[in-house]
Amino acid sequence: MKILIHQKAQIPIKVISSDAEEVALTNTTCPGALWELAERFPNEIIGWCEEELYKNVKLENWNRTFQHNLMMASYAVKTIFLPESIGYVDQLPFVNVNRKVKYPTWQMSSDLGGIKGKVLLKFKRLFKDISGLGYLLNSIAKTGQQNGLFCYSDPALTTEGTSNKPVSQASQSELFSFIQQHYTGFWTSVLLWCLWKYENKLPVLAYFLAFFKKNIFREEVELSEFKYELTWGSNNASVDVIIPTLGRKNYLEQVLEDLKVQSLKPQHVIIIEQDPEKNSESQLKEIISKDWPFSIIHHFTHKTGACNARNIALQKVQSEWVFFADDDIRLPSDLLKNVLEEASKYQISAVNLNCKQPGEETVFGKIKQWGSFGAGTSVVKKAFAKKCRFSEVFEFGFGEDADFGMQLRKHGCDIIYHPELQIIHLKAPSGGFRNKKVVHWEHGEMLPKPSPTLMAYAFKHYTPQQIKGYKVSLFLKYYNRQPEKNPWKYFRQMQKRWKLSEEWAEELLKSNGSLHSSLNS
Protein backbone atom coordinates (compact mmCIF):
# COMPACT_ATOMS: atom_id res chain seq x y z
CA MET A 1 0.00 0.00 0.00
CA LYS A 2 1.29 3.43 -0.96
CA ILE A 3 -0.45 6.52 0.45
CA LEU A 4 0.18 9.97 -1.00
CA ILE A 5 0.20 12.56 1.78
CA HIS A 6 -0.84 15.94 0.42
CA GLN A 7 -1.54 19.44 1.65
CA LYS A 8 -5.07 20.66 0.88
CA ALA A 9 -5.20 18.60 -2.35
CA GLN A 10 -2.62 20.95 -3.85
CA ILE A 11 0.89 19.89 -2.88
CA PRO A 12 2.19 16.30 -2.60
CA ILE A 13 4.23 16.07 0.62
CA LYS A 14 5.46 12.48 0.82
CA VAL A 15 4.49 8.85 0.31
CA ILE A 16 3.89 6.50 3.22
CA SER A 17 4.43 2.83 2.39
CA SER A 18 2.97 -0.09 4.33
CA ASP A 19 6.26 -1.98 3.88
CA ALA A 20 8.37 0.96 5.15
CA GLU A 21 9.92 1.42 1.68
CA GLU A 22 11.05 4.96 0.96
CA VAL A 23 9.36 6.35 -2.14
CA ALA A 24 10.60 9.53 -3.79
CA LEU A 25 8.28 11.41 -6.16
CA THR A 26 9.25 13.23 -9.34
CA ASN A 27 5.82 14.79 -9.92
CA THR A 28 4.96 18.04 -8.17
CA THR A 29 1.16 17.86 -8.55
CA CYS A 30 -1.22 15.53 -6.69
CA PRO A 31 -2.81 14.02 -9.86
CA GLY A 32 0.66 13.54 -11.38
CA ALA A 33 1.89 11.87 -8.19
CA LEU A 34 -1.07 9.44 -8.21
CA TRP A 35 -0.42 8.44 -11.82
CA GLU A 36 3.28 7.99 -11.00
CA LEU A 37 2.55 5.76 -8.01
CA ALA A 38 0.08 3.67 -10.02
CA GLU A 39 2.65 3.07 -12.76
CA ARG A 40 5.39 2.13 -10.30
CA PHE A 41 3.21 0.01 -7.99
CA PRO A 42 0.29 -1.32 -10.09
CA ASN A 43 -0.43 -4.26 -7.78
CA GLU A 44 -0.75 -2.17 -4.64
CA ILE A 45 -3.47 0.04 -3.24
CA ILE A 46 -2.69 3.65 -4.15
CA GLY A 47 -4.10 5.91 -1.48
CA TRP A 48 -4.30 9.62 -0.76
CA CYS A 49 -4.66 11.51 2.50
CA GLU A 50 -4.72 15.10 3.70
CA GLU A 51 -1.61 15.71 5.83
CA GLU A 52 -3.42 16.70 9.03
CA LEU A 53 -5.81 13.73 8.81
CA TYR A 54 -3.24 10.95 8.52
CA LYS A 55 -2.88 10.56 12.29
CA ASN A 56 -6.47 9.23 12.36
CA VAL A 57 -6.20 6.86 9.40
CA LYS A 58 -7.23 3.34 10.42
CA LEU A 59 -4.84 1.33 8.23
CA GLU A 60 -5.89 -2.04 9.65
CA ASN A 61 -9.31 -1.50 8.04
CA TRP A 62 -8.06 -0.60 4.58
CA ASN A 63 -7.52 -4.18 3.42
CA ARG A 64 -11.06 -5.02 4.56
CA THR A 65 -12.42 -2.04 2.64
CA PHE A 66 -10.56 -2.87 -0.56
CA GLN A 67 -11.75 -6.47 -0.71
CA HIS A 68 -11.11 -6.94 -4.43
CA ASN A 69 -9.50 -5.09 -7.30
CA LEU A 70 -12.51 -3.13 -8.48
CA MET A 71 -12.96 -1.07 -5.33
CA MET A 72 -12.58 2.67 -4.91
CA ALA A 73 -13.37 4.28 -1.57
CA SER A 74 -12.89 7.53 0.25
CA TYR A 75 -14.28 9.34 3.25
CA ALA A 76 -15.16 13.01 3.53
CA VAL A 77 -13.89 14.01 6.97
CA LYS A 78 -13.80 17.74 6.28
CA THR A 79 -14.22 18.30 2.56
CA ILE A 80 -16.21 16.99 -0.38
CA PHE A 81 -15.64 18.09 -3.95
CA LEU A 82 -19.09 18.86 -5.37
CA PRO A 83 -21.66 21.05 -3.58
CA GLU A 84 -25.19 20.00 -2.66
CA SER A 85 -26.39 21.63 -5.89
CA ILE A 86 -25.34 18.39 -7.67
CA GLY A 87 -28.79 17.26 -6.52
CA TYR A 88 -30.43 19.55 -9.07
CA VAL A 89 -28.92 17.31 -11.73
CA ASP A 90 -28.75 13.83 -10.18
CA GLN A 91 -31.65 12.13 -8.40
CA LEU A 92 -29.98 8.73 -7.97
CA PRO A 93 -29.23 7.32 -4.49
CA PHE A 94 -25.48 7.94 -4.87
CA VAL A 95 -25.88 11.67 -4.18
CA ASN A 96 -27.58 11.66 -0.74
CA VAL A 97 -24.91 9.76 1.20
CA ASN A 98 -25.37 8.20 4.64
CA ARG A 99 -21.94 8.93 6.11
CA LYS A 100 -22.44 6.56 9.06
CA VAL A 101 -22.17 3.37 6.99
CA LYS A 102 -20.27 2.06 3.99
CA TYR A 103 -22.43 3.67 1.36
CA PRO A 104 -22.32 3.36 -2.46
CA THR A 105 -21.42 6.67 -4.09
CA TRP A 106 -19.21 8.02 -6.84
CA GLN A 107 -18.67 11.22 -4.82
CA MET A 108 -15.06 10.98 -3.73
CA SER A 109 -13.26 13.17 -1.21
CA SER A 110 -9.61 14.15 -1.42
CA ASP A 111 -9.46 13.88 2.40
CA LEU A 112 -8.52 10.20 2.27
CA GLY A 113 -9.19 7.15 0.14
CA GLY A 114 -7.69 4.66 -2.28
CA ILE A 115 -7.90 2.48 -5.39
CA LYS A 116 -5.81 -0.37 -6.83
CA GLY A 117 -2.94 0.94 -8.96
CA LYS A 118 -3.60 -1.13 -12.09
CA VAL A 119 -7.27 -0.15 -12.01
CA LEU A 120 -6.39 3.52 -11.63
CA LEU A 121 -4.23 3.30 -14.76
CA LYS A 122 -7.24 2.24 -16.81
CA PHE A 123 -8.54 5.80 -16.49
CA LYS A 124 -5.34 7.62 -17.44
CA ARG A 125 -6.31 7.74 -21.12
CA LEU A 126 -9.35 9.85 -20.25
CA PHE A 127 -8.15 11.92 -17.32
CA LYS A 128 -4.38 12.38 -17.57
CA ASP A 129 -4.75 16.14 -18.22
CA ILE A 130 -6.92 16.91 -15.19
CA SER A 131 -5.00 19.15 -12.81
CA GLY A 132 -7.28 19.13 -9.75
CA LEU A 133 -7.25 16.17 -7.36
CA GLY A 134 -10.93 16.44 -6.37
CA TYR A 135 -12.06 16.73 -10.00
CA LEU A 136 -9.88 13.76 -10.96
CA LEU A 137 -11.12 11.45 -8.19
CA ASN A 138 -14.78 12.22 -8.88
CA SER A 139 -14.31 11.80 -12.64
CA ILE A 140 -12.72 8.39 -12.15
CA ALA A 141 -15.47 7.25 -9.80
CA LYS A 142 -18.36 8.65 -11.90
CA THR A 143 -17.08 7.03 -15.08
CA GLY A 144 -15.88 3.92 -13.30
CA GLN A 145 -19.20 3.22 -11.61
CA GLN A 146 -20.86 2.91 -15.04
CA ASN A 147 -18.15 0.45 -16.09
CA GLY A 148 -18.08 -1.92 -13.13
CA LEU A 149 -16.05 -0.04 -10.51
CA PHE A 150 -17.55 -0.23 -7.01
CA CYS A 151 -17.28 3.14 -5.29
CA TYR A 152 -17.98 3.88 -1.63
CA SER A 153 -17.92 6.36 1.19
CA ASP A 154 -16.49 4.30 4.06
CA PRO A 155 -16.14 5.69 7.60
CA ALA A 156 -14.03 2.64 8.54
CA LEU A 157 -11.05 4.23 6.78
CA THR A 158 -10.56 6.64 9.68
CA THR A 159 -11.19 7.05 13.38
CA GLU A 160 -12.71 10.49 12.77
CA GLY A 161 -16.38 10.87 13.66
CA THR A 162 -19.30 11.51 11.30
CA SER A 163 -20.78 14.58 12.99
CA ASN A 164 -19.15 17.30 10.88
CA LYS A 165 -20.72 18.26 7.57
CA PRO A 166 -18.09 18.30 4.80
CA VAL A 167 -17.47 21.56 2.95
CA SER A 168 -17.53 21.66 -0.85
CA GLN A 169 -14.29 22.56 -2.68
CA ALA A 170 -15.48 22.91 -6.29
CA SER A 171 -15.81 26.31 -7.93
CA GLN A 172 -18.85 27.17 -10.04
CA SER A 173 -16.72 26.66 -13.13
CA GLU A 174 -15.64 23.19 -11.99
CA LEU A 175 -19.24 22.27 -11.13
CA PHE A 176 -20.55 23.20 -14.59
CA SER A 177 -17.59 21.55 -16.31
CA PHE A 178 -18.17 18.34 -14.36
CA ILE A 179 -21.87 18.27 -15.29
CA GLN A 180 -21.08 18.98 -18.93
CA GLN A 181 -18.55 16.13 -19.05
CA HIS A 182 -20.38 13.46 -17.08
CA TYR A 183 -24.07 14.03 -17.94
CA THR A 184 -26.02 14.85 -21.09
CA GLY A 185 -26.11 18.50 -22.16
CA PHE A 186 -29.71 18.87 -20.97
CA TRP A 187 -28.57 18.84 -17.35
CA THR A 188 -26.13 21.74 -17.70
CA SER A 189 -29.07 24.00 -18.55
CA VAL A 190 -31.18 22.51 -15.73
CA LEU A 191 -28.40 23.37 -13.29
CA LEU A 192 -28.22 26.98 -14.49
CA TRP A 193 -31.98 27.39 -14.19
CA CYS A 194 -32.08 25.88 -10.70
CA LEU A 195 -29.22 28.03 -9.42
CA TRP A 196 -31.00 31.14 -10.71
CA LYS A 197 -34.47 30.18 -9.46
CA TYR A 198 -33.63 28.66 -6.08
CA GLU A 199 -30.33 30.30 -5.09
CA ASN A 200 -30.49 33.65 -6.89
CA LYS A 201 -27.24 32.89 -8.73
CA LEU A 202 -26.63 33.24 -12.45
CA PRO A 203 -23.11 31.96 -13.31
CA VAL A 204 -23.49 32.50 -17.05
CA LEU A 205 -19.74 32.52 -17.77
CA ALA A 206 -19.20 29.17 -16.03
CA TYR A 207 -22.18 27.80 -17.98
CA PHE A 208 -20.83 28.82 -21.39
CA LEU A 209 -17.22 27.84 -20.68
CA ALA A 210 -18.40 24.35 -19.73
CA PHE A 211 -19.40 23.66 -23.33
CA PHE A 212 -15.73 23.66 -24.32
CA LYS A 213 -15.27 20.51 -22.22
CA LYS A 214 -15.46 17.15 -23.97
CA ASN A 215 -18.46 15.07 -22.97
CA ILE A 216 -17.46 11.59 -21.78
CA PHE A 217 -20.89 10.46 -20.58
CA ARG A 218 -20.83 7.25 -22.64
CA GLU A 219 -17.10 6.54 -22.54
CA GLU A 220 -16.29 2.90 -21.83
CA VAL A 221 -13.43 1.69 -19.67
CA GLU A 222 -12.63 -2.01 -19.91
CA LEU A 223 -12.33 -3.51 -16.44
CA SER A 224 -13.41 -7.09 -17.12
CA GLU A 225 -9.82 -8.39 -17.01
CA PHE A 226 -9.73 -8.11 -13.23
CA LYS A 227 -10.81 -11.57 -12.12
CA TYR A 228 -11.97 -12.76 -8.72
CA GLU A 229 -11.70 -15.80 -6.56
CA LEU A 230 -14.46 -17.32 -4.47
CA THR A 231 -14.23 -16.47 -0.78
CA TRP A 232 -17.57 -17.24 0.82
CA GLY A 233 -18.48 -20.14 -1.46
CA SER A 234 -22.03 -21.39 -2.04
CA ASN A 235 -21.83 -25.00 -0.83
CA ASN A 236 -22.97 -24.23 2.70
CA ALA A 237 -25.18 -21.25 1.85
CA SER A 238 -28.94 -21.47 2.27
CA VAL A 239 -31.70 -19.60 0.46
CA ASP A 240 -35.36 -18.95 1.15
CA VAL A 241 -37.64 -17.81 -1.66
CA ILE A 242 -40.47 -15.30 -1.17
CA ILE A 243 -43.34 -15.45 -3.70
CA PRO A 244 -46.45 -13.27 -3.31
CA THR A 245 -49.23 -14.52 -5.62
CA LEU A 246 -52.82 -13.78 -6.60
CA GLY A 247 -54.77 -15.85 -9.12
CA ARG A 248 -51.81 -17.34 -10.98
CA LYS A 249 -51.89 -20.99 -9.99
CA ASN A 250 -50.39 -22.37 -13.20
CA TYR A 251 -47.63 -19.74 -13.40
CA LEU A 252 -46.73 -20.31 -9.74
CA GLU A 253 -46.49 -24.06 -10.24
CA GLN A 254 -44.00 -23.52 -13.07
CA VAL A 255 -41.85 -21.35 -10.77
CA LEU A 256 -41.87 -24.15 -8.20
CA GLU A 257 -40.86 -26.65 -10.89
CA ASP A 258 -37.91 -24.39 -11.82
CA LEU A 259 -36.89 -24.20 -8.15
CA LYS A 260 -37.18 -27.97 -7.89
CA VAL A 261 -34.37 -28.53 -10.40
CA GLN A 262 -32.00 -25.88 -9.06
CA SER A 263 -28.45 -27.17 -8.54
CA LEU A 264 -28.57 -25.29 -5.23
CA LYS A 265 -32.07 -25.87 -3.92
CA PRO A 266 -33.82 -23.42 -1.61
CA GLN A 267 -34.48 -24.41 1.98
CA HIS A 268 -37.95 -22.84 2.14
CA VAL A 269 -40.34 -21.38 -0.40
CA ILE A 270 -42.63 -18.89 1.31
CA ILE A 271 -45.86 -18.37 -0.65
CA ILE A 272 -48.18 -15.54 0.33
CA GLU A 273 -51.46 -16.25 -1.43
CA GLN A 274 -53.97 -13.41 -1.67
CA ASP A 275 -57.65 -13.44 -2.54
CA PRO A 276 -59.83 -10.42 -1.73
CA GLU A 277 -63.08 -12.43 -1.75
CA LYS A 278 -64.14 -12.86 1.88
CA ASN A 279 -65.48 -16.41 1.57
CA SER A 280 -62.77 -17.68 -0.76
CA GLU A 281 -60.37 -20.52 0.00
CA SER A 282 -56.88 -21.33 -1.16
CA GLN A 283 -56.49 -22.40 -4.78
CA LEU A 284 -53.07 -23.88 -4.09
CA LYS A 285 -53.84 -26.88 -1.87
CA GLU A 286 -53.12 -29.39 -4.62
CA ILE A 287 -49.81 -27.74 -5.54
CA ILE A 288 -48.64 -27.39 -1.96
CA SER A 289 -49.40 -31.03 -1.19
CA LYS A 290 -46.98 -32.27 -3.86
CA ASP A 291 -43.60 -33.71 -2.94
CA TRP A 292 -41.11 -30.87 -3.26
CA PRO A 293 -37.37 -30.97 -2.37
CA PHE A 294 -37.86 -27.92 -0.15
CA SER A 295 -40.22 -26.88 2.57
CA ILE A 296 -43.24 -24.82 1.49
CA ILE A 297 -44.50 -22.24 3.95
CA HIS A 298 -47.95 -21.16 2.79
CA HIS A 299 -49.89 -18.17 4.11
CA PHE A 300 -53.38 -17.35 2.84
CA THR A 301 -54.83 -13.87 3.32
CA HIS A 302 -57.82 -11.86 2.10
CA LYS A 303 -55.79 -8.65 2.34
CA THR A 304 -54.19 -7.76 -0.97
CA GLY A 305 -51.10 -5.70 -1.61
CA ALA A 306 -47.47 -6.32 -2.52
CA CYS A 307 -46.06 -4.54 0.54
CA ASN A 308 -48.20 -6.42 3.04
CA ALA A 309 -47.50 -9.77 1.37
CA ARG A 310 -43.74 -9.36 1.35
CA ASN A 311 -43.65 -8.12 4.94
CA ILE A 312 -45.54 -11.24 6.06
CA ALA A 313 -43.08 -13.39 4.13
CA LEU A 314 -40.01 -11.60 5.56
CA GLN A 315 -41.09 -12.55 9.08
CA LYS A 316 -40.91 -16.21 8.06
CA VAL A 317 -37.44 -16.15 6.43
CA GLN A 318 -34.91 -18.46 8.12
CA SER A 319 -32.05 -18.98 5.67
CA GLU A 320 -28.93 -16.86 5.16
CA TRP A 321 -30.21 -15.42 1.87
CA VAL A 322 -33.67 -14.46 0.61
CA PHE A 323 -34.73 -14.45 -3.03
CA PHE A 324 -37.50 -11.92 -3.69
CA ALA A 325 -39.32 -13.56 -6.62
CA ASP A 326 -42.39 -12.93 -8.76
CA ASP A 327 -44.92 -15.68 -9.48
CA ASP A 328 -44.60 -15.48 -13.29
CA ILE A 329 -40.87 -15.92 -13.93
CA ARG A 330 -38.69 -18.66 -15.39
CA LEU A 331 -35.32 -19.55 -13.86
CA PRO A 332 -32.30 -21.36 -15.30
CA SER A 333 -31.38 -24.44 -13.25
CA ASP A 334 -28.10 -22.99 -11.96
CA LEU A 335 -29.43 -19.54 -11.04
CA LEU A 336 -29.27 -19.71 -7.22
CA LYS A 337 -25.84 -21.36 -7.24
CA ASN A 338 -24.45 -18.76 -9.64
CA VAL A 339 -25.96 -15.86 -7.68
CA LEU A 340 -24.25 -16.89 -4.47
CA GLU A 341 -20.95 -17.56 -6.22
CA GLU A 342 -21.00 -14.09 -7.79
CA ALA A 343 -21.93 -12.55 -4.44
CA SER A 344 -18.89 -14.31 -3.00
CA LYS A 345 -16.57 -13.02 -5.71
CA TYR A 346 -17.65 -9.43 -5.31
CA GLN A 347 -18.24 -9.57 -1.54
CA ILE A 348 -21.74 -8.16 -1.88
CA SER A 349 -24.95 -8.67 0.07
CA ALA A 350 -27.65 -7.79 -2.50
CA VAL A 351 -27.79 -8.87 -6.14
CA ASN A 352 -30.29 -7.45 -8.64
CA LEU A 353 -30.87 -9.99 -11.42
CA ASN A 354 -31.17 -9.21 -15.11
CA CYS A 355 -34.92 -9.64 -15.60
CA LYS A 356 -36.03 -9.74 -19.24
CA GLN A 357 -39.26 -10.46 -21.08
CA PRO A 358 -39.16 -13.22 -23.71
CA GLY A 359 -37.13 -12.08 -26.72
CA GLU A 360 -35.94 -8.90 -24.99
CA GLU A 361 -32.29 -7.84 -25.29
CA THR A 362 -30.08 -6.94 -22.32
CA VAL A 363 -29.92 -3.16 -21.91
CA PHE A 364 -27.05 -2.87 -19.41
CA GLY A 365 -24.24 -5.26 -20.25
CA LYS A 366 -21.87 -4.62 -17.33
CA ILE A 367 -22.04 -5.48 -13.67
CA LYS A 368 -22.53 -2.24 -11.75
CA GLN A 369 -23.78 -0.58 -8.61
CA TRP A 370 -27.52 -0.27 -9.12
CA GLY A 371 -29.57 2.86 -8.53
CA SER A 372 -32.79 1.00 -7.80
CA PHE A 373 -33.98 -2.35 -6.43
CA GLY A 374 -36.15 -5.07 -7.95
CA ALA A 375 -38.63 -6.37 -5.39
CA GLY A 376 -39.28 -9.43 -7.56
CA THR A 377 -35.81 -9.87 -9.03
CA SER A 378 -33.30 -9.66 -6.17
CA VAL A 379 -31.37 -11.86 -3.77
CA VAL A 380 -30.44 -10.27 -0.44
CA LYS A 381 -28.67 -11.39 2.70
CA LYS A 382 -31.20 -12.02 5.46
CA ALA A 383 -29.16 -9.95 7.93
CA PHE A 384 -29.95 -6.83 5.88
CA ALA A 385 -33.38 -7.77 4.51
CA LYS A 386 -34.79 -8.34 8.00
CA LYS A 387 -33.85 -4.77 9.00
CA CYS A 388 -36.18 -3.34 6.35
CA ARG A 389 -39.88 -3.29 5.62
CA PHE A 390 -41.95 -2.58 2.54
CA SER A 391 -43.70 0.66 3.42
CA GLU A 392 -47.47 0.64 2.99
CA VAL A 393 -47.19 4.25 1.85
CA PHE A 394 -46.59 2.69 -1.57
CA GLU A 395 -49.28 -0.02 -1.44
CA PHE A 396 -51.20 -0.17 -4.75
CA GLY A 397 -48.92 2.53 -6.12
CA PHE A 398 -45.30 2.56 -7.23
CA GLY A 399 -42.03 3.00 -5.41
CA GLU A 400 -42.07 0.30 -2.75
CA ASP A 401 -39.13 -1.54 -4.30
CA ALA A 402 -37.02 1.62 -4.71
CA ASP A 403 -37.86 2.57 -1.10
CA PHE A 404 -36.80 -0.87 0.15
CA GLY A 405 -33.55 -0.49 -1.77
CA MET A 406 -32.88 2.84 -0.08
CA GLN A 407 -33.48 1.25 3.31
CA LEU A 408 -30.91 -1.43 2.45
CA ARG A 409 -28.31 1.17 1.43
CA LYS A 410 -28.85 3.20 4.58
CA HIS A 411 -28.07 0.04 6.56
CA GLY A 412 -24.79 -0.37 4.65
CA CYS A 413 -25.97 -2.90 2.04
CA ASP A 414 -24.94 -2.11 -1.53
CA ILE A 415 -27.08 -3.38 -4.43
CA ILE A 416 -25.29 -4.77 -7.48
CA TYR A 417 -26.88 -5.43 -10.86
CA HIS A 418 -25.46 -8.48 -12.65
CA PRO A 419 -26.24 -8.84 -16.39
CA GLU A 420 -25.21 -12.50 -16.59
CA LEU A 421 -27.61 -13.64 -13.85
CA GLN A 422 -30.77 -13.72 -15.93
CA ILE A 423 -34.41 -14.62 -15.38
CA ILE A 424 -37.38 -14.38 -17.75
CA HIS A 425 -40.46 -12.38 -16.75
CA LEU A 426 -43.48 -13.82 -18.54
CA LYS A 427 -45.71 -10.82 -17.72
CA ALA A 428 -48.85 -12.86 -17.06
CA PRO A 429 -51.85 -10.99 -18.56
CA SER A 430 -53.97 -11.19 -15.39
CA GLY A 431 -53.72 -11.84 -11.68
CA GLY A 432 -50.58 -11.20 -9.71
CA PHE A 433 -49.81 -9.81 -6.29
CA ARG A 434 -50.59 -6.18 -7.16
CA ASN A 435 -54.37 -5.95 -7.42
CA LYS A 436 -55.56 -2.77 -9.16
CA LYS A 437 -57.20 -0.33 -6.77
CA VAL A 438 -58.52 3.14 -7.48
CA VAL A 439 -56.85 5.50 -5.02
CA HIS A 440 -58.35 8.65 -3.54
CA TRP A 441 -56.50 11.16 -5.73
CA GLU A 442 -57.87 9.60 -8.91
CA HIS A 443 -61.39 10.87 -8.10
CA GLY A 444 -60.59 14.59 -8.40
CA GLU A 445 -60.99 16.88 -11.40
CA MET A 446 -57.20 17.19 -11.72
CA LEU A 447 -54.74 14.32 -11.33
CA PRO A 448 -51.62 15.01 -9.26
CA LYS A 449 -48.28 14.97 -11.07
CA PRO A 450 -46.14 13.05 -10.25
CA SER A 451 -47.98 10.21 -8.56
CA PRO A 452 -48.21 10.96 -4.81
CA THR A 453 -46.37 7.72 -4.04
CA LEU A 454 -43.42 8.89 -6.13
CA MET A 455 -43.57 12.25 -4.38
CA ALA A 456 -43.59 10.43 -1.04
CA TYR A 457 -40.47 8.57 -2.11
CA ALA A 458 -38.81 11.89 -2.98
CA PHE A 459 -39.77 13.35 0.41
CA LYS A 460 -38.27 10.34 2.19
CA HIS A 461 -35.00 9.99 0.29
CA TYR A 462 -34.14 13.12 -1.72
CA THR A 463 -32.21 16.17 -0.63
CA PRO A 464 -34.05 19.50 -1.07
CA GLN A 465 -31.95 20.11 -4.19
CA GLN A 466 -32.90 16.72 -5.63
CA ILE A 467 -36.61 17.43 -5.14
CA LYS A 468 -36.30 20.78 -6.92
CA GLY A 469 -34.23 19.27 -9.73
CA TYR A 470 -36.80 16.49 -10.10
CA LYS A 471 -39.55 19.12 -10.42
CA VAL A 472 -37.74 21.13 -13.09
CA SER A 473 -36.79 18.08 -15.18
CA LEU A 474 -40.32 16.62 -14.87
CA PHE A 475 -41.90 19.87 -16.10
CA LEU A 476 -39.52 19.99 -19.07
CA LYS A 477 -39.75 16.33 -20.06
CA TYR A 478 -43.52 16.06 -19.71
CA TYR A 479 -44.31 19.07 -21.90
CA ASN A 480 -44.19 17.13 -25.20
CA ARG A 481 -46.27 14.27 -23.79
CA GLN A 482 -49.42 16.25 -23.03
CA PRO A 483 -51.94 18.21 -25.14
CA GLU A 484 -51.56 21.73 -23.67
CA LYS A 485 -48.97 23.52 -25.83
CA ASN A 486 -49.35 27.01 -24.41
CA PRO A 487 -46.26 27.11 -22.13
CA TRP A 488 -47.81 29.58 -19.66
CA LYS A 489 -51.01 27.58 -19.25
CA TYR A 490 -48.99 24.37 -19.04
CA PHE A 491 -46.73 25.78 -16.33
CA ARG A 492 -49.67 26.98 -14.20
CA GLN A 493 -51.41 23.65 -14.65
CA MET A 494 -48.32 21.68 -13.66
CA GLN A 495 -47.77 23.88 -10.61
CA LYS A 496 -51.25 22.98 -9.41
CA ARG A 497 -50.72 19.27 -10.11
CA TRP A 498 -47.35 19.30 -8.34
CA LYS A 499 -48.91 21.01 -5.30
CA LEU A 500 -51.71 18.45 -5.28
CA SER A 501 -49.14 15.64 -5.35
CA GLU A 502 -47.27 17.20 -2.42
CA GLU A 503 -50.47 17.40 -0.37
CA TRP A 504 -51.38 13.78 -1.02
CA ALA A 505 -47.81 12.63 -0.33
CA GLU A 506 -47.83 14.44 3.02
CA GLU A 507 -51.09 12.69 3.91
CA LEU A 508 -49.65 9.30 2.94
CA LEU A 509 -46.53 9.82 5.03
CA LYS A 510 -48.44 11.20 8.02
CA SER A 511 -50.83 8.25 8.02
CA ASN A 512 -47.86 5.90 7.92
CA GLY A 513 -45.92 7.78 10.61
CA SER A 514 -42.95 8.52 8.34
CA LEU A 515 -43.28 12.19 7.44
CA HIS A 516 -39.79 13.24 6.39
CA SER A 517 -38.11 16.35 7.72
CA SER A 518 -37.40 17.49 4.17
CA LEU A 519 -41.01 18.62 3.91
CA ASN A 520 -40.05 21.64 5.98
CA SER A 521 -36.79 22.42 4.16
pLDDT tens sequence for the chain (521 residues): 999 999 999 999 999 998 888 899 999 999 999 999 999 999 999 999 999 999 999 989 998 899 889 999 999 999 999 999 999 999 999 999 999 999 999 999 999 999 999 999 999 999 999 999 999 999 999 999 999 999 999 999 999 877 788 999 999 999 999 999 999 989 999 999 999 999 999 999 999 999 999 999 999 999 988 866 655 555 578 999 999 999 899 999 999 999 999 999 999 999 999 999 988 999 999 999 999 999 999 999 999 888 999 999 999 999 999 999 999 999 999 999 999 999 988 889 999 999 999 999 999 999 999 999 999 999 999 999 999 999 989 987 789 999 999 999 999 999 999 999 999 999 887 666 554 555 667 766 789 999 999 999 999 999 999 999 999 999 999 999 999 999 999 999 999 999 999 999 999 998 876 644 333 32
Would the pTM count as exceeding 0.85?
yes
Q: How confident is the model over 429-448, as pLDDT tens digits?
A: 766 655 455 566 776 678 99
* Among 181, 177, 169, CA closest to 209: 177
- 241 forms beta bridges with 269, 323
Q: How many CA atoms lie within 13 A of 173 on its CB side?
A: 5
Entry field: residues in the chain? 521
Give the whole-angstrom CA distance, residue 2 versus residue 396: 53
- For residues 141 and 102, the answer to whether their CB atoms sit within 8 Å is no
Burial tier of 372 (Cβ tally within 10 Å: 0-12, 13-18, 19+):
middle
Taking each helix axis from N to C end, the angle separating 452-461 and 487-512, rounded to the nearest 10 degrees, works out to 70
Taking each helix axis from N to C end, the angle separating 400-410 and 452-461, rounded to the nearest 10 degrees, works out to 10
CA Rg value for the chain: 25
Q: How confident is the model over 291-336, as pLDDT tens digits?
A: 999 999 999 999 988 899 999 999 999 999 999 999 999 999 999 9
